Structure formats: C-alpha cells, structure tokens
C-alpha cells in the first residue's frame, strides 16, 4: 500500500518537477519506504512506497513494463497476484520481480480495462498508456483505496489524499450540500463528492479514462453487486460450509506479506472471527504468536476488553492493549482531524486512530480487520424489517408473526414493537425527513435529502436492495474512508476479509434463514465459528466495536466544543441568527459533535463557506 499522485497539463504545458514533488511530499506518511517521480511532457506521475510485497528496489514506482508502453502508479494490494502471475506466465509474460505491481501491469497488457475483473484486492491506480495516448484510472470494487481528483482550466490532477489537490484550488470552499447533509445527521455522504468544492472522488467499482489528445474524460462502472439465485437454494449446512471456506480463503490471501501482519480485535464477533481464523493459519506457517491490538474504553458500559481477552487466551495471541483517556483524546484530536481531512461523525474514529498508532509502535505494518461483516450478514437492527418482509413474501404473515415472536424471545432488539419502529423510521422517507428538519431548525437552509431518503425507503422493502445500497452508497464508503485515513497516517495497511468480493456476493445471496435465525443475526457466521471460538463470543448478543467513552469525553470537552461551535464563521453563516446559541445545550450529543468537528475542520484547513 502506498500513495499516488498525478497531474496532466490540459493545454500541453510541461509539468514542473516542484509541482509534482510537492504533491508526493504531502503524502510522505503513506509511504516511508521510497518515492519516485515520472515527468514526461505534460504528464507527471508520482508515488510514495510502503513496501509490503517484494521489499527490494524491484517494486519501485512509477513502474514501466518491458515494452515501455505502460507506466503505473498504484496504491493497494492484489491479493491473488500469485495465481495471476502463473496465468500470465502461461500467456507468455515474463516477470523480473515478485511485486504485485508488475502483475498489475502485465494484466493490463493482457486484458486491457477488463484486467480489474481479474483482481481480488483493493486498489487505486493510474496507468499511462502511451500506445493509446490515454490515462486509465481505476478504484477497487467497494472503494477501500481512495482516488481523489480535480479538474481546472489548466490541469487534471489526482491523488490518494485531498491535501495533494488543495493547491489547485483558488480558495478552499466547503461543498455546501455535503456539509449541510452532514450537519443534519445523514449517515451517507456522496460517493463522488468531497466536503471541498471542486475536489471529487472516483466511486468504488468505477474506472476513469482521460484521453490525452482530446483531454476528454469518461467515468464508467465496471462492478455492481448482483444476486446469485443458486446460493439461496443451498441447505443451511451447505451454506455454512461454503461460507466458511470462502472466509478462510479470504484470510489466507490477506496474510500474504513480506512484513509483520497482525489484526484488530475489538472482542466482537467479526473481529474475533478474523483473529481466530488468521491465528490458526499463521501458526501453521510461522513461529511465534499472532499479534492483535485492542482499543479499550475507559467506560465500563462499552468496554469490551473481557471479550477480547477471551479471544487472546483461546488463540494464544500476542496482545497489545491501548486504553485512551480524555487527555489522549484531547491531545490527539487535531492530529486525527489532519489525518481525516474531512469531518467525521463520532469520537469512535479517534479510538481507531489509536489502534493504528499502536500497530506502528509495535512494528505491525499490516492489520486485518472485521469491517464489512455487519453489512453483508444483516448485523444492524435496521435490516430486521426488510428481513421480515421477505419472510412474509415467501411464507406468509402467520409464519412471519411466529418468527417475530420466536426471535424476540432470544433477542430483545427483535421485539415486535422494535421491529415496527425500525420499519416506520427507515421505510418512511417523509417521517425521517420531518425528524431531520425538526432537530436542524437552527439552520438557515436544509439540504436536498428527500430523494436520497426515498431511495432508502424503496430499498428497505427488500433485503438485497438494502444491503446493496448500504455497501455501495450509504454506509460502507464512509467507514472505509475513516479506516484508510487513520491507517495510512501511521503507514499501516489494513485488509478486510469480509469484503473479499467473492464472500460479499455469496453472503448477499444467502437465504434469509442463513442470516437471521432464532433471534441470532449473522447466523451462518455463528454456525461456522461454533466450536472454534468460546461460546461467549460466538453466541454473544451485543456488539460495540471500538466504541469511545463518548459521554465521559464530551463532559470534559464540553466547554471547548461550545466555544468552537459558537465562534465558527462557517457555522455562523449556516445558522439562523441566535438560534444555534439558544438551542446548542439542548441538542443531542452527537449533533453537538458534528457541529464541533465541522468548526474544527474549517479552522484547521482554512475552509470558507462562500
């Protein structure tokens, strides 16, 4: 994993070395193991290297193929590079390194744009194709690796982080609609727009091609989640076995590295599963214990340390425990914000920051993580209503009613009244919009969110559609952004087995009773791990993740937050005169946080509203 940069002179002007070098220097934290520049007329490509596979200079970038017609800058990992290398060698390609970057180049030479359909991995890359006189750019299926870009009258520029593109702006202006949506409380953020006016992002599953002759660019989709009807017809036993095999293989290929690998461990089902399966595979080929990192909350109510400890003992892990307290939170917040570059919705992002910081301190360059398990296996309560609607369509309402009663006995979150509340809230765009409007009445204007809420309402009547929407647009993209920024700020590569595209497509295609049964969510996963982990983990009902001790931190940070919010010029322009000061103390804590983090972001990055 690395950082990339590129700039094209749209009027044919040559690229100045200082311009490109500055873009690369701004992401030095992403790649402490090397840097490289290519200046070729009106094209400049730059790279910072975090060496993971083939630590020799043979993996240096920008990398050009043997014929000299293709040069790539690339951030990510192609996990199936070993298998692809063998396939490409049979097709006549010759390799001089062990790096997956060389495999990527050969795959493009062999298959052109379709190379991305052969990759199992995470990537963000740009290939200068001299033969076709174009720049071909791509971002992985779910957008794990970032690709930001900007187009001005004179330049097209791209990079792994927003900070690389800010010098191309005449002023740092907030994108008003994105900012308002965040303040109102939307979970989603636009998949193609940042918080900065003029700075865009390529969505996951899309390619971007820039014709260097005409200077015209096109964006095209190459991946979209689809359901495999044959999977839903599997028996529960068959489904669990195939799910288990896919998950173990997803972990196997993500353990490929020439540097130390560990895992994040919250103590929840997903991270504990990854830790358990990875430790078993690691012990089979390596000496010493597999490493895990846990961020513990200083509030007993959301501290999962005891669960994590059980997993550590069960798998004989080398455990690194970090417990951030308020001084750590307050002292690191500016650094977290600089890493994130954009506002983020809760202090839990700070807890994740400390996990990555601890990994760097202990020499772990690669971390596995359980991100994606909730989205693929119905781990969130908001999926329950759609699940029951699907049951009613296939088995009728009497069967569904019996299922609701049976599930509620084992899971209080699935009580009938709760399910009705979930359905009313998540499946009524106008109800949600009314609630957003009420709690945001301190704003002068409100964003245009009704169409997006209606899209959610429509998807909420079908489990697959709802999962697809959350993975591609409304939930997962933001979570992946937070993780990449936190990890790469400390030069850490995170790998997410639950988001192996094979496992995602299989999981979304499972029948409903393989996902929720007898009140247990993620049922196939629990059945697959039964006997492999302590029952207290496998059949655990609650989940938290790396939750911050929010109430305690907010109490201690209260005055700082209030002063920052009420003194913010950006919020002053967005709010109705006197309304924010009058209502601030009565706003819910997470709304106060959103206001605070926007004020801090605007101050840190010198952002104006107009």
Q: Are 495 and 52 in contact (CB under 8 A)?
A: no
**Residue 320: both structure tokens together:** 């690194």
Percent of the chain whose predicted confidence (pLDDT) is above 90: 82
- Whether the full predicted model's pTM is greater than 0.75, yes or no, is yes
Each residue of 590-600: pLDDT tens digit?
Answer: 999 999 999 99
Q: What was the pLDDT predicted at 431?
A: 87
Q: What was the pLDDT predicted at 400?
A: 84
Residue 186: which of 439, 436, 551, 487 has the closest Cα? Answer: 436
Q: Is the pLDDT of residue 285 over 90?
A: no
Q: Tally Cβ neighbours within 10 Å of residue 264.
A: 27
Q: What was the pLDDT predicted at 394?
A: 84
Q: Is the pLDDT of residue 454 over 90?
A: no
Q: Is the pLDDT of residue 184 over 60?
A: yes
Q: Are 149 and 208 in contact (CB under 8 A)?
A: yes
Q: Is the pLDDT of residue 544 over 70?
A: no
Q: Are 565 and 596 in contact (CB under 8 A)?
A: yes
**Residue 410: both structure tokens together:** 């084992």
Q: 426-463 burial string, b = 16+ CB within 10 Å, else e? A: bbbbeebbeebeebbebbeebbebeebbebbbebbeeb
Q: What was the pLDDT predicted at 395?
A: 85
For residue 492, name the pLDDT band (cuts at 50, 70, 90): very high
Q: What was the pLDDT predicted at 129?
A: 98
Select from 1.10.10.10, 3.60.20.10, 3.90.700.10, 3.30.750.210 the CATH code of 2-221. 3.60.20.10
The C-alpha angle 351, 353, 356, rounded to 5 degrees, equals: 115
For residue 187, name the pLDDT band (cuts at 50, 70, 90): low
Q: Cα(498)–Cα(539) distance, rounded to whole angstroms?
A: 19
Q: Is the pLDDT of residue 545 over 70?
A: no
Chain centroid to CA 402: 37
CATH 3.40.50.620 placement within the chain:
229-376+477-538
Report the chain's terminal Cα–Cα distance, integer Å: 36
Q: Which of 104-113, 537-546, 590-599 has the lowest mean pLDDT?
A: 537-546
Q: Give Cα separations from 392 to 384, 385, 404, 456 (angstroms).
A: 12, 11, 11, 20
Domain covering 229-376+477-538 in this structure, CATH number:
3.40.50.620
Tokens 């989205």 correspond to: 375
The C-alpha angle 33, 35, 38, rounded to 5 degrees, equals: 155
**Residue 240: both structure tokens together:** 């669990």
Higher-pLDDT residue of 131 and 451 is: 131
Three-state secondary-structure class, residue 520 = strand
Across 419-448, average pLDDT = 87
Percent of the chain whose predicted confidence (pLDDT) is above 70: 99
Q: What was the pLDDT predicted at 608?
A: 97
Q: Give Cα separations from 325 to 224, 339, 340, 433, 557 (angstroms).
A: 42, 20, 21, 36, 12
Q: Are 47 and 61 in contact (CB under 8 A)?
A: yes
Q: Cα(40)–Cα(43) distance, rounded to whole angstroms?
A: 5
Each residue of 462-491: pLDDT tens digit?
Answer: 999 999 999 999 999 999 999 999 999 999
366-368 and 493-495 strand pairing: parallel
Q: Cα(557)–Cα(329) distance, rounded to whole angstroms?
A: 10
Q: Which residues pair with 63 in a beta bridge?
A: 72
Across 94-122, average pLDDT = 97
List the strands of the sheet with 206-211, edge to edge.
Answer: 63-64, 70-78, 121-129, 134-139, 206-211, 217-221
Q: What was the pLDDT predicted at 543?
A: 65
Q: Which of 385-394, 541-550, 557-566 has the lowest mean pLDDT?
A: 541-550
Q: Cα(605)–Cα(597) distance, rounded to whole angstroms?
A: 12
CATH 3.60.20.10 placement within the chain:
2-221
Q: Is the pLDDT of residue 302 over 90?
A: no
Q: What was the pLDDT predicted at 389?
A: 86
The C-alpha angle 497, 241, 277, rounded to 5 degrees, equals: 40
Each residue of 19-62: pLDDT tens digit?
Answer: 999 999 999 999 999 999 999 999 999 999 999 999 999 999 99
Across 261-278, average pLDDT = 97
For residue 548, name the pLDDT band (cuts at 50, 70, 90): confident
Q: Cα(413)–Cα(520) distance, rounded to whole angstroms?
A: 10
Q: What was the pLDDT predicted at 86?
A: 98
**Residue 121: both structure tokens together:** 């991995």
**Residue 465: both structure tokens together:** 């559609």
**Binding residue positions:** 100
For residue 546, name the pLDDT band (cuts at 50, 70, 90): low
Q: What was the pLDDT predicted at 382?
A: 87
217-221 and 206-211 strand pairing: antiparallel
Q: What's the alpha-carbon Rg for the chain, to the nearest Å? A: 24
Q: Is the pLDDT of residue 292 over 90?
A: yes
Q: What was the pLDDT predicted at 417?
A: 81
Q: Cα(253)–Cα(120) distance, rounded to whole angstroms?
A: 9
Across 343-369, average pLDDT = 97
Across 534-547, average pLDDT = 80
The residue annotated as part of the active site, out of 2, 115, 137, 264, is 2
Each residue of 132-168: pLDDT tens digit?
Answer: 999 999 999 999 999 999 999 999 999 999 999 999 9
Residue 12: which of 42, 34, 33, 39 has the closest Cα? Answer: 42
**Residue 469: both structure tokens together:** 């929407």
Give the up-direction half-sphere exposure of residue 274: CA atoms within 13 A in the CB hemisphere.
Answer: 32
Q: Give Cα separations from 243 to 48, 238, 247 (angstroms).
A: 37, 8, 6
Q: Are 253 and 261 in contact (CB under 8 A)?
A: no
Phi, psi of 544 (to 5 degrees): -130, -45
Q: Are 368 and 390 in contact (CB under 8 A)?
A: no
DSSP secondary structure letters along 558-602: HHHHHHHHHT-HHHHHHBPTTHHHHHGGGS-HHHHHHHHHHHHHH
Three-state secondary-structure class, residue 217 = strand
Q: Give Cα separations from 289 to 262, 279, 309 (angstroms).
A: 10, 8, 15
Q: What was the pLDDT predicted at 392?
A: 85
- Does the annotation mark 2 as catalytic? yes
């Amino acid at each position: 994993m690395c950082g990339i940069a590129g700039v094209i002179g749209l009027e044919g002007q040559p690229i100045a070395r200082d311009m490109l070098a500055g873009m690369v220097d701004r992401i030095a934290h992403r790649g402490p193991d090397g840097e490289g520049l290519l200046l070729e007329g009106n094209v400049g490509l730059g790279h910072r290297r975090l060496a993971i596979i083939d630590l020799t200079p043979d993996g240096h970038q920008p990398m050009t193929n043997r014929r000299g017609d293709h040069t790539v800058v690339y951030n990510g990992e192609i996990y199936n590079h070993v298998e692809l290398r063998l396939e490409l060698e049979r097709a006549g390609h010759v390799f001089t390194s062990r790096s997956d970057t060389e495999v990527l180049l050969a795959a493009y030479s062999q298959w052109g744009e379709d190379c991305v359909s052969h990759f199992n991995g995470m990537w963000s890359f740009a290939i200068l194709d001299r033969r076709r006189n174009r720049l071909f750019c791509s971002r992985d299926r779910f957008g794990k690796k970032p690709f930001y870009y900007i187009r001005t009258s004179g330049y097209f520029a791209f990079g792994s982080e927003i900070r690389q593109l800010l010098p191309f702006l005449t002023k740092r202006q907030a994108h008003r609609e994105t900012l308002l949506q965040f303040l109102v409380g939307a979970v989603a953020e636009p998949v193609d727009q940042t918080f900065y006016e003029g700075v865009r992002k390529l969505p996951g599953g899309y390619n971007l091609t820039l014709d260097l002759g005409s200077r015209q660019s096109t964006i095209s989709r190459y991946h979209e989640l689809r359901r495999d009807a044959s999977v839903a017809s599997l028996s529960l036993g068959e489904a669990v076995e195939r799910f288990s095999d896919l998950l173990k293989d997803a972990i196997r290929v993500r353990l490929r590295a020439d540097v130390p690998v560990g895992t994040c461990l919250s103590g929840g089902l997903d991270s504990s599963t990854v830790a358990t399966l990875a430790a078993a595979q690691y012990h089979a080929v390596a000496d010493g214990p597999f490493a895990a990192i846990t961020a513990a909350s200083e509030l007993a109510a959301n501290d999962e340390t005891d669960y994590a400890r059980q997993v550590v003992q069960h798998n004989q892990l080398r455990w690194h425990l970090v417990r951030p307290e308020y001084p750590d939170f307050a002292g690191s917040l500016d650094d977290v914000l600089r890493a994130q570059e954009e506002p983020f919705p809760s202090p839990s992002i700070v807890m994740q920051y400390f996990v990555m910081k601890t990994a760097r301190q202990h020499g772990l360059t690669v971390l596995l993580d359980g991100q994606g398990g909730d989205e693929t296996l119905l781990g969130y309560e908001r999926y329950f209503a759609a699940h029951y609607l699907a049951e009613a369509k296939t088995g009728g309402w009497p069967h569904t009613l019996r299922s609701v009663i049976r599930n509620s006995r084992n899971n209080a979150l699935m009580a009938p009244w709760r399910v009705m509340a979930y359905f009313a809230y998540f499946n009524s765009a106008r109800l949600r919009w009314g609630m957003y409007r009420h709690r945001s009445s301190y704003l002068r204007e409100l964003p245009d969110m009704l169409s997006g809420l209606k899209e959610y309402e429509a998807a909420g009547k079908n489990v697959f559609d709802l999962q697809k929407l959350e993975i591609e647009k409304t939930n997962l993209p933001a979570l992946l952004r937070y993780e990449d920024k936190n990890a790469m700020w400390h030069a850490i590569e995170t790998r997410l087995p639950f988001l192996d595209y094979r496992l995602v497509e299989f999981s979304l295609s499972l029948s409903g009773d393989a996902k929720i049964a007898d009140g247990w969510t993620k049922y196939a996963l629990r059945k697959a791990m039964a006997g492999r982990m302590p029952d207290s983990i496998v059949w655990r009902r609650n989940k938290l993740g790396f939750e911050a001790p929010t109430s305690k931190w907010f109490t201690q940070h209260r005055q700082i937050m209030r002063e920052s919010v009420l003194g913010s010029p950006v919020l002053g322009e967005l709010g109705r005169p006197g309304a924010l000061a009058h209502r601030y103390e009565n706003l819910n804590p997470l709304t106060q946080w959103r206001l605070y983090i926007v004020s801090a972001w605007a101050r840190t990055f010198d952002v104006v509203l107009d």
